[in-house]
Amino acid sequence: MPSRLSLHAITKRYPAVVANDAVSLTVQPGEIHAILGENGAGKSTLMKVIAGEVRPDAGSIEFDGQPVTIDGPAAALALGVAMVHQHFALFDTLTVAENILLGLPARWTPAAVRARLAEVGSRYGLDIAPDVHVHELSMGERQRVEILRALLAAPRLLILDEPTSVLTPQAVERLFTTLRQLAADGVSVLFITHKLDEIRALASVCTVMRGGRVVASVDPRTQTEQGLARLMIGADPPQIAAHDTPPGPPRLHIDGLCLRADSPIRLTVCAGEIVGVAGISGNGQRELMARLGGETLSDPGCIMLDGLPVGRLGPRERRQLGLRYVPEERLRHGAVPEMSLAENALLTGDQLHERGLIQPRRMRQFAERVIERFRVKAPDTQARAGSLSGGNLQKFIIGREVESQPRVLVINQPTWGVDVGAAVAIRNALIALRAQGCALLVVSEELDELFELCDRLVVLSQKRLSPAVPAHALSVDEIGRWMAGLWPPPGSAPAGEPAQAAA
């Protein structure tokens, strides 16, 4: 039986970097094949070559044993190649059903799409309202749309770029069941992930890339997570720093903030403390972050920063008081893709201009510090933000806020799509801020990350906030129940509010 996909010496060069350097790999029918590598290793570029979104400078491709030229996404789709992107390829002003219809052959009708969407969504636990506009969806909900669109195309080769980064553990398990079913039916699956446990649980082959080249191909089931990390990084991965000092006085206090009329939110985050917010995407995280960052205003006293009411203040005024915010969406929200890294540093860098005048030297020096400290793979500070890989852009955006020495940092999905080494570096930077007295509120759908980072946890479900509990007071199963809104009455929950936060 011929291979489903064979790549031969695929090379893709950009002005400042060789993204793929003579990459060769083979994928068999019904094989689940993982691609592992650090941010900027060339993984996403290679997937875009297969999906027809990028034309290689050299090399050849065979599909089902036949030489092919994939000169665009339509040609890839005609072969049976479907791709779920890490940076979603959706039109914000269209509905879910309209977005999915655009990616399907002309024979599909709107009614057929809606019926099939309901069927597939229900079967795989990826339910989504077909008439909702994409701009109203959270990042996790948008990812569901991308996965559903790919599944509706009945692919022969399914490419997934960080498919589980904003899915709950239960949704991940359902997705894995789906992928195993597809593989059993002969569909080949190529997926990129930085979660080593997922690679070992799902894939039978793992190709490791470093610096645009293939450095190893292994059976991940015979490897340890430490061994896979060592192959990816070329050295032992760094370790998470210890963080067990007691918290200080209250710094961020939320009281009476309503995401829904019948359930006001109350939470205090103290100096030298990290509080984590767990929950399934789409349960109010986006609205909460917009309220805290100042993008959506609230009653003045609903949000207090070091005793000052800031509910009616905008983002710039809150930054001047020491509150920094890292949004979930990197491009267009956290960064402007057409602007350079130095210019993106200026967006939230109030210290980089003086009396209305931009300080170019100070701006470049600041961006250089972020690039060096967070090991951002970029040629220089003039590189466009949109030219960076997703993980490297994430490192830059987080570094931009961390380097500003905030008193309060509100951060949404801090390590979404970054590799193991970079994830540890980001978490250690947050722990270092904690040690300096910063109060951190971290929203993440990575439970392991929350357990690793946080002093206390809350769960957001249907725009209601659970009681705060010590990070290790709940098991994963208990958190799963809380994500469904099934937490006990406040009086019977484990005590988690620090003494300073008591009413």
Q: What is the pLDDT of residue 239?
A: 79
Q: What average pLDDT does the structure give for the chain?
A: 88
With CA atoms as reference, report the closest residue to 462 among 282, 288, 290: 282
Question: Mind listing the pLDDT tens digit for each residue in 14-40?
Answer: 887 899 999 999 999 999 999 999 888
Q: What is the mean pLDDT of residues 331-342?
A: 90
Residues 90 and 187 in one domain: yes
For residues 48 and 147, membership in a common domain is answered with yes
Q: How many whole angstroms separate alpha carbon 498 and alpha carbon 96?
A: 43
**What does the pLDDT read at residue 170?**
66
Task: Identify the H or E element spanning 155.
Answer: none
Quick one: DSSP state of residue 352? G
pLDDT of residue 17: 85
Q: Tell me the three state secondary structure of residue 426.
A: helix
User: Residue type at 253?
Assistant: H
Following CA atoms 139, 143, 144, 147 in sequence, which dihedral angle do they give, to the nearest 10 degrees? 180
Domain shared by 220 and 81, yes or no: yes
More confident residue, 127 or 407: 407
Q: Does 395 fall in a domain?
A: yes
Is 240 within a domain? no
Residue 498 has pLDDT above 50, yes or no: no
CB 165 within 8 A of CB 192: no
Residue 239 in any domain: the answer is: no
392 three-class SS = helix
Model confidence at 480: pLDDT above 80? yes
Both 75 and 202 in one domain: the answer is yes
**Over 80: is that where the pLDDT of 370 sits?**
yes
**pLDDT at residue number 75:** 93
Neighbour count for residue 496 (Cβ, 10 Å): 19
pLDDT (0 to 100) of residue 151 = 86
Place 499 in a pLDDT band, splitting at 50, 70 and 90: very low
What's the CATH number where 263 sits?
A: 3.40.50.300
Q: Mean pLDDT throughout 461-466?
A: 93
Dist CA 54 CA 161 (whole Å): 15
Largest CA distance in the chain: 71
Q: Is residue 327 part of a domain?
A: no
Q: How far apart are CA 278 and CA 272, in angstroms?
A: 20
Look at the chain and report how many structural domains it folds into: 3
Residues 368 and 467 in one domain: no
What's the pLDDT at 500?
40
Helical (H) or strand (E) element with 256: strand 250-258
70 domain-assigned: yes
- State phi, psi for 397 to the nearest 5 degrees: -65, -45
Domain shared by 385 and 358, yes or no: yes
Which of the four pLDDT bands, split at 50, 70 and 90, describes residue 165? Answer: low
User: Are 304 and 386 within one domain?
Assistant: no
Examine the fold and report which residue of 187, 207, 233 is the final residue of a domain before the chain moves on.
Answer: 233
Q: Which domain holds residue 267?
A: 245-322+407-503
Q: Is residue 200 part of a domain?
A: yes
- Of the ranges 53-57, 112-116, 125-129, 255-259, which one carries the lowest mean pLDDT score? 125-129
**Contact (Cβ atoms closer than 8 angstroms) between residue 61 and residue 6:** yes
Domain end among 233, 261, 292: 233
Do 32 and 11 fall into the same domain? Answer: yes
Please indicate whether residue 393 or residue 502 has the higher confidence score (pLDDT): 393
Alpha-carbon distance values, 492 to 255, 467, 487, 489 (Å): 21, 10, 9, 6
Same domain, 211 and 307: no
Task: Label residues 380-390 b or e (16+ Cβ within 10 Å = b).
Answer: ebebbbebbbb
- Quote the percentage of the chain above a pLDDT of 70: 95
The reported pLDDT for the residue numbered 168 is 63
Q: Is residue 28 part of a domain?
A: yes
Per-residue pLDDT at 172: 78
494-498 long-range contacts, CB within 8 A, separation 24+: 494/467, 494/469, 494/470, 495/469, 496/456, 496/457, 496/467, 496/468, 496/469, 496/470, 497/268, 497/467, 497/468, 498/247, 498/268, 498/270, 498/273
Give the count of alpha carbons within 13 A of 485, CB side only. Answer: 7
Domain boundary among 233, 258, 292: 233
Amino acid of residue 256: G
Tokens describing residue 394? 């994430």
Sequence-distant (6+) residues with CB within 8 A of 465 are 263, 265, 266, 267, 458, 459
Same domain as 152, residue 65: yes
> Strand, coil or helix: what is 5?
strand
Distance, in Å, from the CA atom of 501 to the CA atom of 460, rounded to the nearest integer, reads 20
| H-run or E-run covering 36 | strand 32-37
The residue count for the chain: 503
| pLDDT > 50? residue 493 | no
User: What do you get for the CA distance between the two ends of the chain, in Å?
Assistant: 70
Residue, of 174 and 152, whose pLDDT is higher: 152
Q: What is the pLDDT of residue 495?
A: 42
Over residues 402-447, the pLDDT tens digits come to: 999 999 999 999 988 787 888 888 999 999 999 999 999 999 988 8
3-state secondary structure 214-242: EEEEECHHHCCHHHHHHHHHCCCCCCCCC
Please check whether residues 395 and 419 belong to one and the same domain: no
- 166 pLDDT tier (thresholds 50, 70, 90): low
pLDDT at position 393 over 50: yes
Q: Count CB neighbours of 220 within 10 A.
A: 24
Residues 6+ apart with CB under 8 A from 338: 384, 385, 386
Residue 503 has pLDDT above 50, yes or no: no
Any domain includes 238 = no
Tokens of 236: 């032992």
Does 494 have pLDDT greater than 80? Answer: no
Q: Evaluate if residue 296 carries a pLDDT over 60.
A: yes
Band of pLDDT at residue 338, cut at 50, 70 and 90: very high
Whole-number Å distance between alpha carbons of 79 and 133: 30
**Comparing 477 with 248, which gets the higher pLDDT?**
248
Say if residue 48's pLDDT is above 50: yes
Q: 255: exposed, middle or buried (C-beta count within 10 Å: 0-12, 13-18, 19+)? A: middle
DSSP letters spanning 323-345: EEEE-S-TBTTTB-TTSBHHHHH
Q: Which two structure tokens, joined as six digits, stand for 469?
A: 């509990």
Read off φ and ψ for residue 209, nearest 5 degrees. -115, 145
What is the structure's pLDDT at 383? 93
Q: For residue 160, what pLDDT is reported?
A: 92
Q: Are residues 363 and 497 in the same domain?
A: no
Q: What is the mean pLDDT of residues 151-169?
A: 82
